[in-house]
């Protein structure tokens, strides 16, 4: 399942071993709005919550999983670029790329509730117990207090002996945080207590880059349903959303 490459044992730390790479198995493919520049994905039962980006067409949506039909949508004002999304109780929290504002919505009605300001860029977002974890395109994840976005802790993410930057969309899967990497067809499984990578998941066969509508139509969006044990991924302007299976699911 994994290949060991030559490594200089005089400098490599023992935990800097080459991580295993597992190829995801496609269980099903569902329609996905090709206009959706996907930036955040959450699933609960048969319902998807999706954040989309780009200036002028950012949105928050409730989507029927099976049909891909948009059941409710709110559009962000043109100056906002939607990014990561997470659900916390009956609320959805959506971050923005460089606007430094997170928006809180009622998850059932998509009614706007409030704005939370934060520093730096916003890329991915996931709920981790009582806290949130946010990525900003670097190799460092921030653990946040959900009501204020106060930074409680930073997690430096490493894999195969080096820092992994461009951490993008995030998902909590059991005791791990999974991140897809910008412009790569890979998910990194991260141990959030240490920041160490646990393994890679290869998704390059789902929607090969030569079929994509443009260069920025990259893999982005991981959603895990712990109740049903189902895992979904999609990408920016991808026409399909995939249910996948990997051996490493909890
Ligand atoms: N980020 O989501 C990785 C944070 C930023 C992506 C910005 C991509 C802009 C590309 C616009 C052209 C796509 C049609
Ligand atoms: Ca997600």
Ligand 1: does its nearest atom lie under 6 Å from the Cβ of 182? Answer: yes
Which residue would you say has higher pLDDT here, 16 or 226?
226
- 46 and 28 in contact (C-beta within 8 Å)? no
Ligand 1: does its nearest atom lie under 6 Å from the Cβ of 97? Answer: yes
Q: Which residue minimizes the CA distance to atom 8 of ligand 1?
A: 216
Average pLDDT on 187-204 reads 98
pLDDT for 172: 98
How confident is the model over 15-49, as pLDDT tens digits?
Answer: 568 999 999 999 999 999 999 999 999 999 999 99
Q: Which residue minimizes the CA distance to atom 1 of ligand 1?
A: 123
**Taking phi first (over 0 means left), then psi (-120 to 50 degrees means alpha), and beta for anything else, what does residue 243 get?**
beta
Q: In sequence order, what DSSP letters do the residues of 65-125 get, joined into one string?
A: TTT--EEEEEEPPTT--EEEEEEETTEEEEEESSS-EEEEEETTT--EEEEEE-SS----E
Ligand 1: does its nearest atom lie under 6 Å from the Cβ of 202? Answer: no
Cα–Cα–Cα angle for 136, 32, 243, nearest 5°?
80
% of the chain at pLDDT higher than 70: 94
Owner of token pair 């066969």: 205
Asked whether the predicted pLDDT for residue 222 surpasses 90, the reply is yes
pTM (two decimals) = 0.93
How confident is the model over 50-65, as pLDDT tens digits?
Answer: 999 999 999 999 999 9
How confident is the model over 85-120, as pLDDT tens digits?
Answer: 999 999 999 999 999 999 999 999 999 999 999 999
ipTM for the assembly = 0.93
Which mutation among 35, 54, 96 tests ligand 1's pocket best, with the greatest number of atoms within 8 A of CB?
54
Ligand 1: does its nearest atom lie under 6 Å from the Cβ of 81? Answer: no
Q: Which atom of ligand 1 has the smallest separation from the CA of 122? A: 4
Distance 198 CA to ligand 1 centre (A): 28
Distance 236 CA to ligand 1 centre (A): 9
């Amino acid at each position: 399942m994994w290949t060991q490459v030559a490594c200089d044992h005089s400098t490599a730390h023992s935990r800097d071993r080459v991580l295993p790479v597992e190829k995801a198995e496609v269980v099903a493919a569902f329609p996905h709005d090709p206009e959706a520049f996907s930036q955040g994905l959450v699933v609960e039962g048969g319902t998807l919550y999706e954040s989309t980006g780009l200036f002028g067409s950012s949105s928050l949506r409730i989507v029927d999983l099976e049909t891909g039909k948009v059941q409710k949508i709110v559009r962000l004002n043109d100056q906002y670029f939607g990014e990561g999304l997470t659900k916390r109780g009956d609320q959805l929290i959506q971050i923005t790329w460089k606007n430094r504002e997170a928006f809180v919505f009622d998850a059932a009605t998509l009614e706007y509730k409030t704005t939370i300001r934060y520093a730096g860029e916003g890329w991915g977002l996931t709920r981790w117990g009582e806290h949130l974890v946010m990525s900003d395109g670097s190799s460092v994840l921030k653990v946040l207090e959900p009501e204020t976005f106060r930074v409680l802790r930073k997690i430096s993410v490493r894999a195969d002996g080096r820092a992994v930057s461009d951490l993008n969309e995030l998902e909590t899967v059991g005791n791990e945080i999974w991140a897809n990497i910008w412009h790569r067809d890979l998910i990194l499984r991260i141990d959030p207590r240490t920041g160490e990578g646990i393994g890679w998941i290869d998704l390059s066969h789902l929607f090969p880059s030569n079929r994509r509508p443009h260069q920025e139509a990259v893999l982005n969006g991981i959603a895990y349903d712990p109740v049903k044990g189902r895992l979904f991924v999609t990408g920016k302007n991808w026409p399909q959303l995939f249910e996948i299976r990997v051996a490493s699911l909890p």
